[in-house]
Amino acid sequence: MKYALNRNIFNLVLKIVDNMADDAPMSETPTLAEKVSTELTTAIVRGELKPGARVSEQMLVEKYGGSRAPMREAIQKLEARHLLIRIPHAGARVVSLTLAELRDIYEVRVELESMACRLAAERMTDVEIAELQQLLQNHEDSIKAEQGQSYYQKAGDLDLHYRLIRGSKNDRLHQMLCGELYHLVRMYRYQTSTSEKRPLQALQEHQRIVEAIAARDAELAELLMRRHIQTSLRNLEQLLAEEEGRA
Amino acid sequence: MKYALNRNIFNLVLKIVDNMADDAPMSETPTLAEKVSTELTTAIVRGELKPGARVSEQMLVEKYGGSRAPMREAIQKLEARHLLIRIPHAGARVVSLTLAELRDIYEVRVELESMACRLAAERMTDVEIAELQQLLQNHEDSIKAEQGQSYYQKAGDLDLHYRLIRGSKNDRLHQMLCGELYHLVRMYRYQTSTSEKRPLQALQEHQRIVEAIAARDAELAELLMRRHIQTSLRNLEQLLAEEEGRA
DNA sequence: AATCTGTATTTTGTATACAATCTTGGACTA
DNA sequence: TAGTCCAAGATTGTATACAAAATACAGATT
């Protein structure tokens, strides 16, 4: 029962982040290749397909139906998102990030998201900022109400980051962050683990960030966001070190 | 004669930048799809295929030979690089950037390249920095020798930026800058025009940047690079305004 | 004249077949 | 035992054919 609830919340979180990376046309009659590529994406992000696992065209045909042509296209789409790595004549594998590569990704993410925060402070409308404050108020209430429901906090965390990125009003920036980097971060679930550890601290950091934005203090907002993500990077590295020691 | 020389230099420049974006496997037996995708890329960057032009699979078959399957794959590769925009059932067109989109791209580029410069100041080896200084010395000599050969300066400009990006030792950063953003910047040739206008000023800015890196002053290096690119952005906007007025 | 509509054409999406290449497993050798 | 080589099997790259969708154009209508 409790697990079932958590799974629902987990799906909610996935949905929110999926909306962040809403690069799929979502047309009325989606192509088979599109359907398969979105299914494959969630399968990889959820860990049903583990890093390093081979993804052959035949396998996808058996799993999703259809012929090899659309499967091939789906694989190529995921290669473009850096979720699969394709080697000519040899096939595709789920990307398997080394620690160094994950650090590289976080390094870029820190830079781009703090930039997004700076731009958001300059460009968000007053209405959008008010909605931001409302969102944080809701988070605070839910945290005070149920200490254990860290999933809500995680969803809120993602939602806030999402709004700030959109608030930058820079579509290319949004595309790079949500369409490329976040998939990989999600996939390793590190973000999940880390944010669970410090829900209240994260909320306070968020509050300061939104305060800075409300004051239109772009420099401060950028600095605070930079620290906020760098903290989560340090948590991530600590987690990796622990996992390394265990293995 | 003079034009032929310039064309050669232009090709040299293209080659240098192509190396920057060396994301193609370049295997011994390249796939037809790979060959077509690289050819298509240079065709678009050179302007042989103009923004907004349709790129049908049949057209590629007639131009490059083979069947539709590899052409489809080549089109998808260029879609991943944001050089083509594909609409389901409707086909692909060469991307046509609005002024706002180009500003977005430059905004991200400023952030990422100044970041790369900061990291380069921290991570480049002394040998690499010495090579950087040698490169600048060569540029200075060639500028003093032949004032008119601005193409050399452009190639040198790109070469320097390339080395700094590599010097960040962050593969993901390199990939995003060279594999995605630069193609688009190149395509519009704005970079070309702007750097032609101020070869000496650019050289001086480069010298200060490299000085900061040699002093391992990462903050200063980042700041200088940020200003350097922001200047070129301002030049770009000015050029666009002029073109707007002319049209 | 401009707009709408329906048909014909073109183009893409998908399925299937064949050729080229890689992977896997085992036998063989040093 | 470790490494190499080779052949069978599996997988991808490419070609061709058909179905579905969008585009283009001609004709009708207001």
Q: Is B87 helix (H, G, I), strand (E, B) or coil?
A: strand
Judgement on whether residues A129 and A73 belong to the same structural domain of the protein: no
**Closest residue in chain A to residue B23, using alpha carbons only:** A80
A56: nt with nearest C1' to CA: D11
Highest mean pLDDT, choosing among A187-196, B28-37, B83-92, B188-197:
B83-92
Q: What is the CATH number of the domain that holds B152?
A: 1.20.120.530
Q: Are residues A72 and A57 in contact, defined by beta-carbon separation less than 8 angstroms? A: yes
- Same domain? For A107 and A45 the reply is no
Pairing state between β A54-55 and A91-94: antiparallel
SS3 A92: strand
- Of residues B210 and A141, the one with the higher pLDDT is B210
The answer, yes or no, to whether residue A121 has pLDDT greater than 90, is yes
pLDDT of residue A152: 62
Closest Cβ opposite residue B105 in set A30, A88, A172: A172
Tell me: pLDDT of B155 over 80: no
Q: How far is the CA of B88 from the C1' of C8 (A)?
A: 21
Distance CA B9, CA A239 (A): 51
- Mean pLDDT for B115-120 is 98
The most confident of A162-166, A240-244, B96-100, by mean pLDDT: A162-166
Residue A3 counted as domain residue? no
Best interface-test mutation with A: which of B28, B71, B108 has the largest number of A CBs within 10 A? B108
**Percentage above 90 pLDDT, chain A:** 59
Structure tokens at B190: 């704005």
Per-residue model confidence (pLDDT) at position A210: 97
By three-state DSSP, how is residue A93 classified? strand
DSSP bridge partners of B92: B55, B86
A51 and A129 housed in the same domain:
no
Does the nearest atom of strand D lie within 7 Å of A98's Cβ?
no
Out of A34-43, A135-144, B154-163, give the one with best mean pLDDT: A34-43
Q: What is the pLDDT of residues A132-176, one digit of tens each?
A: 999 999 888 877 776 555 556 667 778 899 999 999 999 999 999
Regarding whether A209 and A114 lie in a shared domain, the answer is yes
Q: Which of A42, A72, A94 is the last residue in one of the domains? A: A94
Q: Flag the least confident range among A26-30, A173-177, B127-131.
A: A26-30
- Say if B15 falls within a structural domain: no
Q: What average pLDDT does chain B have? A: 84
pLDDT at A144: 75
Q: Looking at per-residue confidence, does A151 or B227 come out higher? A: B227
CB proximity A66–strand D (7 Å threshold): no
Alpha helices in chain A (DSSP H): 2-20, 32-46, 57-64, 68-80, 99-123, 126-145, 150-167, 171-176, 182-187, 190-197, 199-214, 218-246
Please tell me the predicted confidence (pLDDT) of residue B118. Answer: 98
Indicate whether B8 belongs to any domain.
Answer: no
CA-CA distance, A41 to A36, in Å (whole number)? 8
Average pLDDT over residues B133-157: 75
In a domain, A2, yes or no: no
CA distance B134 to B124: 15
B54-55 β-sheet, strand order: B54-55, B91-94, B84-87
Q: Name the residue range of residue B62's domain.
A: 26-94
- B231 and B110 in a common domain: yes
What pLDDT does residue A196 have? 56
Cα separation of the two ends of chain A: 32
pLDDT of residue A246: 61
CATH code for the domain in which residue B57 is found: 1.10.10.10
Residue B216's pLDDT is: 98
pLDDT of B8 above 50 = no
Residue B69 within a domain: yes
3-state helix, strand, coil in chain B (%, to 5): 75, 5, 20
Considering the domain architecture, whether residues B72 and B133 belong to the same structural domain is answered as no
Q: Are B73 and B33 a contacting pair, CB within 8 Å?
A: yes
- Residue-by-residue DSSP string for A103-164: HHHHHHHHHHHHHHHHHHHHH--HHHHHHHHHHHHHHHHHHHH-TT-HHHHHHHHHHHHHHH
Q: What is the ipTM of this complex?
A: 0.86
B69/A73 CB distance under 8 A: no
* Domain identity same for A115 and A220: yes
Residues A114 and A217 in one domain: yes
Written as six digits, the tokens of B217 are: 């002053």
Residues A89 and A110 in one domain: no
Query: Do residue B83 and residue B104 come from a single domain?
Result: no
* Chain A: residues touching B (Cβ < 8 Å): 25, 27, 30-31, 34, 69, 72-73, 76-77, 79-80, 87-88, 101, 104-105, 107-108, 111-112, 115, 119, 170-173, 176, 180
Of the candidates A142, A141, A178, A149, the one whose C-alpha atom is nearest the C-alpha of residue A161 is A178
E-only strand ranges, B37-140:
54-55, 84-87, 91-94
Question: Considering B45, B74, B94, which residue would you say is the last residue of a domain?
Answer: B94
Asked whether residue A47 is domain-assigned, the answer is yes
Which H helix or E strand runs over A48?
A: none
Listed residues B59, B94, B129: the one ending a domain = B94
Compute the mean pLDDT over every residue in chain A, rounded to the nearest whole number: 84
Identify the CA nearest to B57 among candidates B95, B105, B92. B92
Q: Do B176 and A173 touch (CB under 8 A)?
A: no
Q: Are residues B124 and B226 in the same domain?
A: yes
Optimal mutation site among B31, B102, B111, interface A, most CBs of chain A within 10 A: B111
Task: Search chain A and give the residue with CA nearest B114.
Answer: A111
- Same domain? For A52 and A114 the reply is no
Q: Quick check: is A171 in a domain? A: yes
**Longest CA–CA separation in chain A, Å:** 56
Quick one: pLDDT at residue B14?
Answer: 46
Q: How many domains does chain A have?
A: 2
What is the structure's pLDDT at B246?
Answer: 62
Question: Is the Cβ–Cβ distance between B94 and B57 less than 8 Å?
Answer: no
pLDDT in tens, A72-106: 999 999 999 999 999 999 999 999 998 899 899 99
More confident residue, A65 or A235: A65
**The token pair that represents B65 in the structure block:** 């030979």
Contacts 24+ apart (CB under 8 A), B169-173: B169/B119, B169/B123, B170/A104, B170/A107, B170/A108, B170/B116, B170/B119, B171/A101, B171/A104, B172/A101, B172/A104, B172/A105, B172/A107, B172/A108, B173/A104, B173/A107, B173/A108, B173/B112, B173/B115, B173/B116, B173/B119
Q: How far apart are CA B79 and CA A80, in angstroms?
A: 9
Residues of B with CB under 8 A from a CB of A: 25, 27, 30-31, 34, 69, 72-73, 76-77, 79-80, 87-88, 101, 104-105, 107-108, 111-112, 115, 119, 170-173, 176, 180
Residue at B16 is within a domain:
no
